[in-house]
Amino acid sequence: MSTTDRGRTRGNPAHPGDVGRRVAHRREQLGLTREQVAVRARMDVSYLEYLESQPAAVDLETITALAGALGTSVRYLLGGGLDSPPGQATPVLRPVVEELQPWECWAKMEPGGVGRVARSTPEGPQVLPVNYRILDGTVLYRTTAESAAAAAVGERVAFEVDQLDGAFGVGWSVLVTGRAHQVTEADAMEWFGEHADPRPWVGGRRDTWVRIRPDRITGRVIRTAETMPSDDTP
């Protein structure tokens, strides 16, 4: 029986659809094609495409093959530890820490995603997760007028983004500091909505657009001594 058949017909199923999404996400992180992963996992590329695009029960043998092909763990593909803080993996034996150049920091942040806005309040420091996009050398997010994230307008804030790979014990972080400004021009907000909408995960109506204009940007990457620089991004 082929790996394809085994994946479709037997074993303890994982959560339908979740494994396929994690496989696709990990494959894209590594810059691999479906064909490359299918060869590594010794499975039909048509089945891998099916797995990534449709809810499907996947047996342990298939998940193990995919984990090996993607350089990650079965636990990761099954969603283990999603309710736990990241970074619990054992540190690598020969870690290498390098400072990122500003252009490298921008390249790391360019795809957008989730970052954290840090600000000072009378009650103490406050750190707020927000969905963001990068536009014209600034960090852009939108929120509600009454939110703590909107209260950052006019303040000097810090903005942090990171990426951790628990399977390899590597990752990177970027820290931006600058002043937050509210975008009020209607034509600018319309253009942002068409080209750089952060689309907050929490949903709802969020009409306050905020831009952070950086005056300083720094970053670091941690990798294994054996990892080539092109593989630094988890």
pLDDT tens per residue across span 167-205: 566 789 999 999 999 988 776 677 766 666 666 666 666
Pick the CATH number of 3-77 from 3.40.50.300, 3.40.1390.20, 1.10.260.40, 1.25.40.10: 1.10.260.40
pTM of the model: 0.61
pLDDT at 8 > cutoff 50: no
Architecture of the domain whose range is 95-231 = Roll (2.30)
Partners of 134 in beta bridges: 139
Please state, in angstroms and rounded to a whole number, the distance separating the CA atoms of residues 91 and 213: 35
pLDDT at 4 > cutoff 50: no
Query: What pLDDT, in 10s, does the model give residues 43-76?
Result: 999 999 998 888 777 888 888 899 888 888 787 7
Query: What pLDDT, in 10s, does the model give residues 162-173?
Result: 987 665 667 899
State the pLDDT confidence band at 82, using cuts at 50, 70 and 90.
Answer: low
H or E stretch at 181: strand 170-183
Tokens of 208: 């306050």
pLDDT at 96 > cutoff 50: yes
Please state, in angstroms and rounded to a whole number, the distance separating the CA atoms of residues 15 and 79: 9
Domain residue extents for the chain? 3-77, 95-231
Looking at the chain, the whole-number percentage of residues with pLDDT higher than 70 is: 72
Residue ranges of E strands in 106-155: 113-121, 124-135, 138-143
Please, which residues have CB within 8 angstroms of residue 202's CB and are 6 or more apart in sequence? Answer: none
Please state, in angstroms and rounded to a whole number, the distance separating the CA atoms of residues 107 and 109: 6
Query: What pLDDT, in 10s, does the model give residues 11-48?
Result: 344 444 578 888 888 888 788 899 999 999 999 999 99
Instruction: Identify the burial level of 109 via C-beta atoms within 10 angstroms of its C-beta, where 0-12 means exposed, 13-18 middle and 19 or more buried.
Output: buried
